[in-house]
Amino acid sequence: MNQRKPSAGTLPVVLLLFVLLPLLGACDEGDDVNEIFASGTWKLTNITTEKSNQMIDLWGADEAARQRSLNLMNQPGTFTLTFYEGEGDGQASGEFDVTSSNRHGTGRWTAEGSSRALRLSNLQLTGAGETDIVAKTFLNGLQNATRYSGDSNFLYIYYEEEGQPVRRLWFIHP
């Protein structure tokens, strides 16, 4: 019997295939939605348009109102969003808690990892009405959320209002 011996270059190639095979099988086009959303409490840090990193001007020329809003945003426990993991039909979903400057609320969330679609619904708010423009914009943005991007370290929630460019709420973990 005449058997051929493998060439010296064959062994490294075979080993490389065995090492890479599990990694290739783990590739997925969608996000791990529960990892992103249920990774803890999120704190609002910025509100921009989709194509800008600069905070949108909600105050016009009123610098005092702008400073009051920024002070409210920097207070611990304000402008927060916490998602709780749940099960869905091919989607991740669950409940969420939200706190603005004067109001607290709960609602339901549903997100789809491959399309990054996001829906926040059934928002029930308690507390005094908001007078701060950032708080109003924050709550309005959540109620009009259409999609998200990010990971377990940062989160963008995109929302749309008629006649306005797409806006983006920026979140990090406090």
| Interval 45-100: pLDDT, tens | 999 999 999 999 999 999 999 999 999 999 999 999 999 987 655 578 999 999 99
Task: Give CA–CA dist 1/58, Å, rounded.
Answer: 84
Calculated CA dihedral for residues 162, 163, 165, 170, nearest 10 degrees = -40
Query: Is the pLDDT reported for residue 41 higher than 50?
Result: yes
Say what the pTM is: 0.80
Task: Give CA–CA dist 85/36, Å, rounded.
Answer: 10
Task: Give CA–CA dist 153/98, Å, rounded.
Answer: 18
- If residue 69 lies in a helix (H) or strand (E), which one and from where to where? helix 63-74
Q: Which domains are seen in the chain, by residue range?
A: 33-172 (2.40.128.270)
Query: Is the pLDDT reported for residue 22 higher than 50?
Result: no
**How high is the mean pLDDT of the chain?**
85
For residue 154, which of 132, 169, 136 has the smallest C-alpha distance? 169
119-153 pLDDT, tens digit per residue, is: 999 999 999 889 999 999 999 999 999 999 999 99
Rg (CA), the chain: 23
Task: Give CA–CA dist 60/39, Å, rounded.
Answer: 36
Task: Give CA–CA dist 165/45, Å, rounded.
Answer: 19
